[in-house]
Amino acid sequence: MHIDPNDKIIIPACPKNTPVPEKTKDRAFSEILNQLAGMPEDSESPSKRAQSMDNVCMAELNPFIYGEKTRIVEGAHGLLDIFSEYQHKLADPSCSLKDIAPLVNQMELDNASLISALNLLPDGDRLKGIINQILIASSLEVLKFNRGDYVGP
């Protein structure tokens, strides 16, 4: 007689006394499902109906808005890079104001494009506040540079 070492594994996995579910008596599947779920057969009550999607913000689901936000974030990141380079050149005594002027012009162009993109964002958007702070800082530096605040006496 050959003894298989896997017999002890197979026996508990396949019980002989498996309960057989009772057969349904010409009832519809939905009735059985409602009974198992504990729902009454008339499930058209207002509390059980599916809620509409009116409360979902469609702007979050709209890929166009997501693409616009991505473009706005990339524009803000580019403006911050220019702003950082401007700050380093401004601190470098070997750079003249003529060397810094192209950066200021680029900051003005980026400010204008970000302002127009800022109007696309809804009022409650947190990104709008961040972009607004970036625009204030860069606009102030453009104003100071053009006003001549960095010209020596």
In a domain, 139, yes or no: yes
Stronger pLDDT, 24 or 119, i.e. the higher one = 119
DSSP labels, 99-129: HHHHHHHHHHHHHHHHHHHHTTS-TT-HHHH
Stronger pLDDT, 20 or 147, i.e. the higher one = 147
In a domain, 41, yes or no: no
In a domain, 42, yes or no: no
CA pair distance 97, 102, nearest whole angstrom: 9
In a domain, 46, yes or no: no
CA pair distance 13, 15, nearest whole angstrom: 6
In a domain, 143, yes or no: yes
User: In this predicted model, what pLDDT tens digit does every residue of 26-84 receive, in sequence order?
Assistant: 667 677 777 777 665 554 555 555 555 555 555 555 555 677 888 889 999 999 999 99
Instruction: Report how many domains make up the chain.
Output: 1
User: In this predicted model, what pLDDT tens digit does every residue of 70-111 receive, in sequence order?
Assistant: 888 999 999 999 999 999 999 999 999 999 999 999 999 999
- Mean pLDDT within 120-138: 89
Residue 87: give the domain boundaries. Answer: 58-147
In a domain, 70, yes or no: yes
Determine which of 2-6, 56-60, 139-143 has the lowest per-residue pLDDT on average. 56-60
In a domain, 13, yes or no: no
Stronger pLDDT, 46 or 123, i.e. the higher one = 123
Dihedral, 62, 66, 72, 78 alpha carbons, nearest 10: -160
CA pair distance 55, 51, nearest whole angstrom: 9
What pLDDT, on the 0 to 100 scale, is given for residue 123?
82
In a domain, 104, yes or no: yes
- Mean pLDDT within 11-35: 64
What pLDDT, on the 0 to 100 scale, is given for residue 43?
47
